């Protein structure tokens, strides 16, 4: 099964997506050492559902879980690669992929501290949204984040997504706390204006 999904159709493929600042590569074990280095700042994990990996073996185990999810069509993970240096900067994914309903979500995203507040996150979302709307013909792309994660919520809103609701007691996090989830979405009618705004930000 190429890239974890071509037997399930193009919605489950993971092509390389390349921009000026970032290259998205299908996540694999070859990214483990780079991910471990990028993940070391504890602040990255404040609002993540998972814990900060404490060893390279834990990173490899996390990659194996992600690839198992990929094989089952549950999640499509990419590694974020700094286009200038070739360093691994973080991860991102599609999930809740539903071709019949022409929708998916973007998440499982984290970025090493050195790459935060750069153009990388904006370009990652431009690449993923472009694939969803322009290549796959999606009608809707969604995001879920902790209701208290103000940085993430503002970042999602800057993409042009709309706040829709709060799912109360939606997830149990790795530390045992319960997450209320803020739900955002962008629909295909909104994409052309959002795409132009994101490209202007990158310029």
Cut 0.85: pTM above it = yes
Residue 83 token pair: 């286009």
What pLDDT is attached to residue 7? 56
5-135-167 Cα angle (round to 5): 75
Asked whether the beta carbons of 109 and 91 are under 8 A apart, the reply is yes
What pLDDT is attached to residue 58? 97
Residue 126 token pair: 């431009």
14-31-87 Cα angle (round to 5): 100
What pLDDT is attached to residue 1? 34
Residue 93 to residue 111: CA distance in whole angstroms: 12
What pLDDT is attached to residue 158? 93
Domains, the chain, ordered by start: 2-202 (3.40.630.30)
CA dihedral angle for residue 152, residue 156, residue 159, residue 162, rounded to 10 degrees: -160
Give, for 191, the enclosing helix (H) or strand (E): helix 191-202
17-71 pLDDT, tens digit per residue, is: 999 999 999 999 999 999 999 999 999 999 988 889 999 999 999 999 999 999 9
Asked whether the beta carbons of 88 and 22 are under 8 A apart, the reply is no
Give, for 125, the enclosing helix (H) or strand (E): helix 120-130
Low-confidence ranges of the chain (pLDDT < 70): 1-7
Residue 131 to residue 136: CA distance in whole angstroms: 6
């Amino acid at each position: 099964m190429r890239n974890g999904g071509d037997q399930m159709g193009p919605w489950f493929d993971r092509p390389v997506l390349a921009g000026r600042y970032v290259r998205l590569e299908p996540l694999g074990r070859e990214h483990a050492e780079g991910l471990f280095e990028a993940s070391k700042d504890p602040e990255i994990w404040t609002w993540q559902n998972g814990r900060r990996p404490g060893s390279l073996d834990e990173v490899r185990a996390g990659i194996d879980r992600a690839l198992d999810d990929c094989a089952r069509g549950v999640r499509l993970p990419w590694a974020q690669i700094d286009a200038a240096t070739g360093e691994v900067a973080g991860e991102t994914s599609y999930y809740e992929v539903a071709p019949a309903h022409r929708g998916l979500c973007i998440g499982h995203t984290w970025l090493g501290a050195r790459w935060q507040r750069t153009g990388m996150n904006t370009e990652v979302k431009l690449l993923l949204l472009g694939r969803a709307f322009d290549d796959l013909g999606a009608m809707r792309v969604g995001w879920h984040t902790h209701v208290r994660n103000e940085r993430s919520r503002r970042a999602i809103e800057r993409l042009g997504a709309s706040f829709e609701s709060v799912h109360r007691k939606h997830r149990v996090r790795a530390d045992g706390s319960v997450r209320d989830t803020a739900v955002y979405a962008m629909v295909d009618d909104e994409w052309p204006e959002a795409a132009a705004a994101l490209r202007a930000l990158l310029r």
